[in-house]
Amino acid sequence: MFGTRKRSPAFRQNLWGVAFAVPALILLLVFSVYPLLTALYTGFTSWGLQGAPKFIGLANYVRLFTRDPEFIRSLKVTAFYALGLNPLMWVCSLGLAMLLNQEIRMRSLFRLVYFTPVIISWVVASMVWFTIFHPSFGLNAHIMRFFGKPGLQLLTDSKYALISIIVLSLWKNVGYYMILFLAGLQDIPQVYYEAAAVDGANSTQKFWRITLPLLMPALVFVMIISTISSFQVFTPIWILTKGGPAGATRVLPVLIYEHASRYLDMGYASAMAVILFLILMVLTLLQLRFFRTTQA
């Protein structure tokens, strides 16, 4: 009476697609959505990892912006790090990509050399640069000794510490963004450049009228992920300076870690993590809106 309806091939294909997506969806829920919701809830509580969290409403957020100057200072340090690193990163990685997109000798070798720091772990990279920065036996010491001066206290002087971390981060990450730009450059048809050359366009005009507009999707992606990455920096700072000297490199992730692991104030640390998440979300939306406006 109720005959079975034959499923179409498209339905079965979609069903298989859903089946393959379920494991990834479970991982996303367990390791991304659940921790995020837990952090949101914990931010409204007082919890020292013993007993049940005690709900205290907005007290943690009020404390952040009214009674914790260290949090405000940490925000400023994080912003200074991001503003000091990212524009330099974009310019250097794009410049390297354009250079290594040309027909030059040993191009593959140069690409490998610039990309090698990307595959080195942050711990190893930080220890290598600790040696370079050392005022007694590092490269810093040898250079300054050549000029007859003692080595600079690059990691223990508040004037140089954050700049030193920026230099390390630039060296570590520039190859990754170079590869992304390189992929974008290789997707641009050469016929556009040939037509521009016929019209008498010079290199500068080709860059602003052809390269940059067609590279915009890669540029947007690089700017967004590099901004997010810079606001989440932790490992090199923790290994090299522990947030010092005198808080000069205590970015927001380091402050969150200190409150969570050292003071066991999980509610307050979660509130700071939520603020960091909101900052990154707003910055991402602003960047997307800006590029959509410029392309309209």
Q: What is the 3-class SS of 64-114, one letter each residue?
A: HHHCCHHHHHHHHHHHHHHHHHHHHHHHHHHHHHHHHCCCCCCHHHHHHHH
Measured torsion, CA atoms of residues 208, 210, 215, 220, in degrees rounded to the nearest 10: 50
What percentage of residues in the chain have a pLDDT greater than 70?
97
Q: What end-to-end distance do the CA atoms of the chain give, in Å?
A: 58
How many angstroms separate the CA atoms of 249 and 162, rounded? 5
pLDDT band at 248 (very low <50, low <70, confident <90, very high): very high
Q: Where are the domains of the chain?
A: 8-42, 57-295
What tokens does 93 get?
Answer: 């990685």
Q: Where are the beta strands (DSSP E) in the chain?
A: 45-46, 54-55
pLDDT of residue 291: 83
Q: Are 243 and 255 in contact (CB under 8 A)?
A: yes
pLDDT of residue 93: 96
Residue holding tokens 């992929």?
183
Return the closest-CA partner of residue 115 out of 166, 176, 167.
Answer: 176
How many angstroms separate the CA atoms of 221 and 276, rounded? 20
Q: Are 219 and 287 in contact (CB under 8 A)?
A: no
Instruction: Report which residue type is found at 23.
Output: P
If one looks up domain 57-295 in CATH, what number appears?
A: 1.10.3720.10
> What pLDDT, in 10s, does the model give residues 95-140?
999 999 988 888 889 999 999 999 999 999 999 999 999 988 888 9
pLDDT band at 2 (very low <50, low <70, confident <90, very high): very low
Instruction: Report which residue type is found at 152.
Output: L
> What pLDDT, in 10s, does the model give residues 209-246?
999 999 999 999 999 999 999 999 999 999 999 999 99
Q: What is the 3-class SS of 51-78, one letter each residue?
A: CCCEECCCHHHHHHHHCCHHHHHHHHHH
Non-local (6+) Cβ contacts of 252 within 8 A are 74, 75, 77, 78, 231, 272, 275, 276
276 pLDDT higher than 80: yes
Average pLDDT value for the chain: 91
295 pLDDT higher than 80: no
Beta bridge partners of 265: none
Q: Are 236 and 103 in contact (CB under 8 A)?
A: no
